[in-house]
Amino acid sequence: MARKEHKWLLGELPVLVSEGTLDEQSAEKLRLKYGEDGAAAQRLSTGAIVVSVIGALLIGLGIIMMLAYNWQQLPRFLRIVLALLPMAVMQVLVVLGFARKWQSDAWREATALLWALTVGATVAMISQIYHISGNLENFTLIWACLIIPVLFFTQAVTVVGVYLGILLAWATTSQLNDGVGILFWPMAALVLWPLYKAMRTNIYGARAIWMQWLTALAFVAALGITLEKYVPGLWIVLYSSAFAVLYMFGGSRLAEPNSFWQRPLHTIGTGGIIILSYMLTYGWPWREIGWCYRYRGGRQVHVWAEWFDTTTVIVVFLFAIILLIALLIQKKKYHLFYGSMPLIAATGYFMVTCGERANDVSYLTAMLFNAYLFILGLATLVRGIWDRRLGAVNGGMLILILLIITRFFDSESGLLAKGGVFIVLGAIFLAVNLTFRKFKREVKS
């Protein structure tokens, strides 16, 4: 729960006790948990985890650098022992932690992170001792495979981050070396188990929230990396669908009053939709796209990976449409503005793809997204005013101002006119904020 909700709950307790809904004993327990002391204890615990993770990271990197020095004066046997020692020590520490039932999260996170790092360091050091050439692609895949049990066993957030990072590095190098990075998806899906466990323990807990952030960000990055990219422009439909899915799925799963930080999927979805829509207000993403421009830039073609591209786009798009229909049924009108982006993107894509006058139509699709982003900004602004949420009001205004300023800069107006528009927009922005704050103060009093 955010601090705002803590305050609200503490304020409600006397009312609940007087109504007889809650007895005094339970109310006291809640006061202890969510009162100043409880919140301070929680902050202290989070602080301890952050500090221990940073410490573990520094120690791990220090060990890697010290081993990388290459102590060639030492006999080979001793160098092998030095290479294996950090991993062995971490294994012992993790076994100790497990035997003591992970008494602290800070201990669990720090040892798990060091364990994951030392596994990679050991493999790298053995390669160094025997002058094994290897390559980043094989190394990252072996490393990722070796820390899968660490992921399941410790269920630590740091290991989830390291694991997804290594997988992304592998998928990137694989694609760059004419390979296929599709293996990323089944391997990354393994993260869902610790995520599920963390969410089941406490859906609003720091572990669950962090894991959601890491997983969602890796998902967004991997979509672009693992695409075979044989049909230009497919990313427009794919990313608009993916962001809409994150927006709608994240919004439906967690309650509205939570902060942006506590709704990672929703936040990434919202940000993604706005940024992508803004990119699509330009003409360049719409030019020379579609099946007529199939290419692979001279690289090796993987026919089955081409099918993966098409299937992924269709599946993610259909999922977005199903969620959109669910929103329609639930009559959540405001969310339809954001959720409908894949439909508009797909319409634009089919308008420009392969037509005889595709480049002329690209101007129209850019205009379509200018209109869409304008409506999105307006809807966010109105929703903010309606719900009395200053954040949403400012968000809506920023979208509108960004759009107006950009289009105005594109025009051939003189500096005087441009300056005037800037001043007017700035004044409106400040006036709305001042009025809104005044209005909120009046409502409170």
Partner 1 sequence: MIKVKYLAVLLLVIAIAAQWAVPLSMMSRREIALKRGTIYRFQTAPVDPYDAFRGRYVALSLSTRSVMTTNIFRKSEAIYLKLGTNANGYAIYEAAEFRPSKDGDWIRVSNSYGDHRRNLTGKQGGGATTNEAYTLYIEAPFDRFYMNEKEAPQAEARYNRTSRSPGGNTWVQVRVWRYIPVVEELYIEGTLVRELLEKDKEK
CA atoms within 13 A on the CB side of 44: 7
Quick one: 442 exposed, middle or buried, by C-beta within 10 A (0-12, 13-18, 19+)?
A: exposed
In the complex, least distance from residue 194 CB atom to partner 1, rounded to whole angstroms: 13
Query: Which residues touch 286 (CB under 8 Å, ≥6 apart)?
Result: 233, 280, 348, 352, 361, 362, 365, 366
Quote the tokens at residue 158. Answer: 């740091």
Phi, psi angles (nearest 5°) of residue 71: -80, 65
In the shown chain, the binding pattern of residues 286 to 325 toward partner 1, with x for contact by CB under 8 A and - for none, equals --------------x-------------------------
Smallest gap from Cβ 261 to partner 1, in A, equals 31
Find the binding residues for partner 1 in span 146-175 (CB under 8 A).
146, 149-150, 152-153
**Which member of 83, 167, 209, 246 binds partner 1 (CB under 8 A)?**
83
**Segment near partner 1 (CB under 8 A); pick from 117-125, 208-216, 324-332, 337-345:** 117-125
| Binding status of residue 124 toward partner 1 by CB under 8 A | yes
Q: Which two tokens stand for residue 186?
A: 């089944």
Which stretch in 47-55, 67-75, 183-191, 345-353 sits in contact with partner 1 by CB under 8 A?
A: 67-75
**Residue 28 Cα to chain centre, angstroms:** 37
Q: In this complex, which beta carbon is closest to partner 1, that of residue 138 or of residue 433?
A: 138
- Report if residue 180 touches partner 1, rule: CB under 8 A: no
Q: SS3 of 194, please?
A: helix
Q: Indicate the Cα dihedral angle 290, 295, 296, 301, nearest 10°.
A: 100
The region of 127-135, 266-274, 342-350, 367-375 touching partner 1 under the rule CB under 8 A is 127-135
User: Of residues 11, 131, 329, 442, which one binds partner 1 by CB under 8 A?
Assistant: 131
Between 123 and 188, name the residue whose CB sits nearer to partner 1.
Answer: 123
Q: Which of 19, 20, 25, 69 binds partner 1 (CB under 8 A)?
A: 69
Is 216 near partner 1 (CB under 8 A)? Answer: no
Residues 27-66 binding partner 1 (CB under 8 A) are 64
Q: How many CA atoms lie within 13 A of 43 on its CB side?
A: 9
The alpha-helical segments, DSSP class H, found in 227-254 are 234-253
Among 42, 127, 258, 433, binds partner 1 (CB under 8 A): 127
- How does DSSP classify residue 285? G
* Residues 325-364, interacting with partner 1 (CB under 8 A): none
CA distances from 200 to 62, 164, 205, 231 (A): 36, 21, 10, 40
Q: Which residues bind partner 1 (CB under 8 A)?
A: 64, 68-72, 80, 83-84, 87, 91, 94-95, 98, 119, 122-133, 142, 145-146, 149-150, 152-153, 178, 300
